Amino acid sequence: MTNDVKTDSSVADMMDAIGRSARLAAVSNARSTTADRNRALGLMAAAIRGDADNILAANTIDVDDGKRRELSAPMLDRLMLDTGRIEAMAAGIEAIANLPEPVGRVMAEWERPNGMVIQRVSVPLGVIGIIYESRPNVTADAAALCLKSGNAAILRGGSESFRSSGAIYECIRVGLSAAGMDENAVQMIPTSDRAAVGYMLSSMAEWIDVVVPRGGKGLIKRVQEDARVPVIGHLDGICHVYLHAAADPDMAREIAVNAKMRRTGICGAAETLLVDQAIANTILPDVAQALLAAGCEIRGDEAVQALLAAAQPADDSDWSTEYLDAIISVRIVADIDAAIRHIGDYGSGHTECIVTGDDAAAAQFLGDVDSAIVLHNVSTQFADGGEFGMGAEIGIATGRVHARGPVGAEQLTSYKYVVRGSGQVRD
Amino acid sequence: MTNDVKTDSSVADMMDAIGRSARLAAVSNARSTTADRNRALGLMAAAIRGDADNILAANTIDVDDGKRRELSAPMLDRLMLDTGRIEAMAAGIEAIANLPEPVGRVMAEWERPNGMVIQRVSVPLGVIGIIYESRPNVTADAAALCLKSGNAAILRGGSESFRSSGAIYECIRVGLSAAGMDENAVQMIPTSDRAAVGYMLSSMAEWIDVVVPRGGKGLIKRVQEDARVPVIGHLDGICHVYLHAAADPDMAREIAVNAKMRRTGICGAAETLLVDQAIANTILPDVAQALLAAGCEIRGDEAVQALLAAAQPADDSDWSTEYLDAIISVRIVADIDAAIRHIGDYGSGHTECIVTGDDAAAAQFLGDVDSAIVLHNVSTQFADGGEFGMGAEIGIATGRVHARGPVGAEQLTSYKYVVRGSGQVRD
């Protein structure tokens, strides 16, 4: 059995204790007040700011270790913290505190002919397991989003960022404790033993309501194979920018360069540029020049190679590759239908952009491209819960069940039906 | 491996062909118009009415077989069709056609400070696998709900209802075809080979977006163990009626009898009656008398046995048992807190009712009981998508992810984010 992980009983005991206390904390958090939870979030942000030096020191050790272990440049970029990123983390928690209360919202209300009044009311999901890799700020974002939405969180960070995440986690517990909340509302698995992840996925359905994995293909594949609890799925971000025949040349260049090069290590970075053949001669050379000037490698199909001396050859695997690096694959397509077909065949359902001045073409693209986020004249780098105004995100879901796109506090809720009557019985 | 089903290659080939054509039909259904889908639904309902004699004849064979195989009375009740149930099936499809369009709804819209306008828009889930047991009307309800919400459906009915479901399925294909829709939008697996279910759960993640199981514990357990695709979970309906100290005596009696006895074989039937000790002497004898008169067996704790000569003894397992039969377990509880605790300890998170004239007690119960449906002064037998005004339901979800409570057309959608800008790039 894939899930028959050899787990020594001490790991099982430890994980069961974490699960049991998380369940109790979830019940108590679900009954806490908005004011309590927001005060805890404010105190967490303050603790992170106050403890920035410790967090940076821990991060330096992680980064040095990562360099010794020859982590890739994008991975080191995700791992690395500086004062700006720490301030962003604290500000993100405060932004989450300032979001509307996600729990107890009356999402719908109607009355039946027999006089029953039915409400659909948002409630917390319960206990959320988050399994992530190198990005230490996930520790803060995930904890804050889970707390805001009345849930308990069990965090399992990657070994690469173990010390950084641990330092951030200490600040979270300080905030919970100072606010008088149950500290077990956020717990971090205190070992990098892989058996703990196996046990979490296969044997904790009683304690964990949903697992959110954040990381590379290996992690996602393992979670999908082993999980006996619901998963909010995150796959690759093979994001496309399509320059339509009616694209404005300057906008095309600026969006293409920003979507690819602003930050290459994030899942919303563009990986493939599709160029309508009607504008390949006029617009592509300028766009390519700007990409090259920004330090980007171009891999093109034969038509692209014929136009651009600097283009390396792309083979079929390039269309399915998430480089997460300063590389872009470029393909010339016959028309918008071919662009939509290419995205359907090779995309990962994450984020795709059309650049065009033609509203009918935009409407077709936005309607027919079946991805979590579809954009018209906007850089794919905006595929982010913070940029969407959600305060922060626990990740971008590419699955279709429960949540799709940025997963923020609102997406970490379930709901129940509340029905009020006056003695109705059914015929 | 639990999912290493021995599948002969002919089953795999057949299932892959079904999956592939379902995916194509889902894309075409997602792009069909509201009018097309509603016309197909109307034609399906007409075909079912026109073909009622055939459906009844097929059902008679299934029921006779079921009697020979000594199916339980509740199972035979679920299997049995009559002209009333066939008319209800056709009317249910028409009610679904008349529901608001679930796809393309703008669920939320906001503008960001940089001018981007973000919409969350509902889209179909994709391909939905429905695995069910004896109830043949699931064939019609599931097909209609999936079609209405722009999805494709792959149906796997139980062997008990194989002929009845097949006859209903023929009417569905007639409707699709007459409306000019892709007939593969609804497919039924044409074999009762169990390997087909194993393959569906373990090896069709490419073709199936979500599986909805409907049936007993054995089926649910198998699906949860083997599924490599997301599951919208349905567990037992261990539903409670709590008669609070401030319950009206007549309402208490009427709701208790209706919740238990109107139809004992449905998941919303009450299984346990909790009686506040403050009214045990005054109200319980009358309620018990009415239950006994309706043919219900009573199993009580010691306090109940002391009050009611007719009560059989209940042991601890009774509190966790879904009888689906004319049996009710009765327990006297100290107060509302004890009632809520009992439901938390033994309930299945389905549907619970409080009978009380005290609004504060009702508010506490509705807030703190963590079930999909919580009711005040309403029979639990209303736990049903049709009774909620959803036209019909594909089942009642007791999981917390994606959908909870009755799963209707709206719950069979996902969403995507549509973002419109004017050249925004990210700093």
Q: List the single residue in A110, A366, A387 with the smallest CB-CB distance to B426.
A: A387
Hunting for tokens 């409080």 — which residue is that?
B354
Whether pLDDT at A233 is above 80: no
Contact partners, residue B134, CB within 8 Å, separation at least 6 = B66, B71, B75, B78, B79, B158, B160, B161, B215
Supply the pLDDT for residue A224: 80
Distance of alpha carbon A278 from alpha carbon A252, whole angstroms = 14
What SS3 class is residue A175?
Answer: helix
Taking the Cβ of residue A277 and every Cβ of chain B, the question of whether any pair is shorter than 8 Å is answered with: no
- Tell me the pLDDT band of A174, cut-offs 50, 70 and 90: very high
Q: Work out the minimum CA distance from A91 to partner chain B, whole angstroms.
A: 17
Quick one: CA dihedral A134, A139, A145, A147, positive or negative? positive
Whether pLDDT at A3 is above 60: no
A252-293 tens-digit pLDDT: 999 999 999 999 988 999 999 999 999 999 999 999 999 999
B209-246 tens-digit pLDDT: 999 998 777 888 888 888 888 888 777 899 999 999 99
Please tell me which residue of chain B has the smallest CA distance to A355: B423
Distance of alpha carbon A225 from alpha carbon B228, whole angstroms = 7
Q: Can you give chain B as a three-state secondary structure string?
A: CCCCCCCCHHHHHHHHHHHHHHHHHHHHHHCCCHHHHHHHHHHHHHHHHHCHHHHHHHHHHHHHHHHHCCCCHHHHHHHCCCHHHHHHHHHHHHHHHCCCCCCCCEEEEEECCCCCEEEEEEEECCEEEEEECCCCHHHHHHHHHHHHCCCEEEEECCHHHHHHHHHHHHHHHHHHHHCCCCHHHEEECCCCCHHHHHHHHHHCCCCCCEEEEECCHHHHHHHHHHCCCCECCCCCCCEEEEECCCCCHHHHHHHHHHHHHCCCCCCCCEEEEEEEHHHCCCCHHHHHHHHHHCCCEEEECHHHHHHCCCCEECCHHHHHCCCCCCEEEEEEECCHHHHHHHHHHHCCCCEEEEECCCHHHHHHHHHHCCCCEEEEEECHHHCCCCCCCCCCCCCEECCCCCCCEECCCHHHEEEEEEEEEEEECCC
Note the helical H segments in A122-181. Answer: 137-148, 162-178
Q: Work out the minimum CA distance from A416 to partner chain B, whole angstroms.
A: 5
Residues B391, B128: contact at Cβ < 8 Å?
Answer: no
B365-404 tens-digit pLDDT: 999 999 999 999 999 999 999 899 887 788 899 989 999 9
Supply the pLDDT for residue A1: 34
Supply the pLDDT for residue B139: 94
Instruction: Using alpha carbons, select from A305, A310, A332, A336 the residue that is nearest to residue A319.
Output: A332
Distance of alpha carbon A28 from alpha carbon A23, whole angstroms = 9
Structure tokens given for A180? 């008088």
Supply the pLDDT for residue B33: 93
Which chain B residues are Cβ-neighbours of A406 within 8 angstroms? Answer: 417
Residues B171, B48: contact at Cβ < 8 Å?
Answer: yes
Which chain B residues are Cβ-neighbours of A425 within 8 angstroms? Answer: 254-255, 258-259, 262, 379, 381
Axis crossing angle, helix B83-97 with helix B34-50, rounded to the nearest 10: 170
Structure tokens given for B14? 């057949």
Taking the Cβ of residue B249 and every Cβ of chain A, the question of whether any pair is shorter than 8 Å is answered with: no
Distance of alpha carbon A349 from alpha carbon A343, whole angstroms = 8
Query: Of the given ranges (A41-55, A224-238, A300-314), which has the lowest mean pLDDT?
Result: A224-238
What SS3 class is residue A392?
Answer: coil
Average pLDDT for chain A: 93
Distance of alpha carbon A300 from alpha carbon B117, whole angstroms = 33
Q: List the single residue in B30, B379, B406 with the smallest CB-CB distance to A426.
A: B379
Contact partners, residue B53, CB within 8 Å, separation at least 6 = none
Structure tokens given for A159? 């070994």
Structure tokens given for A362? 């935009």
Which chain B residues are Cβ-neighbours of A414 within 8 angstroms? Answer: 400-401, 404
Instruction: Using alpha carbons, select from A264, A326, A258, A241 the residue that is nearest to residue A292.
Output: A326
Supply the pLDDT for residue A7: 60
Taking the Cβ of residue A416 and every Cβ of chain B, the question of whether any pair is shorter than 8 Å is answered with: yes
Positions in chain B short of pLDDT 50: 1-5
Q: What is the mean pLDDT of residues A4-15?
A: 76
Which chain B residues are Cβ-neighbours of A203 within 8 angstroms? Answer: none
ipTM, 2 dp: 0.91
Q: Work out the minimum CA distance from B88 to partner chain A, whole angstroms.
A: 14
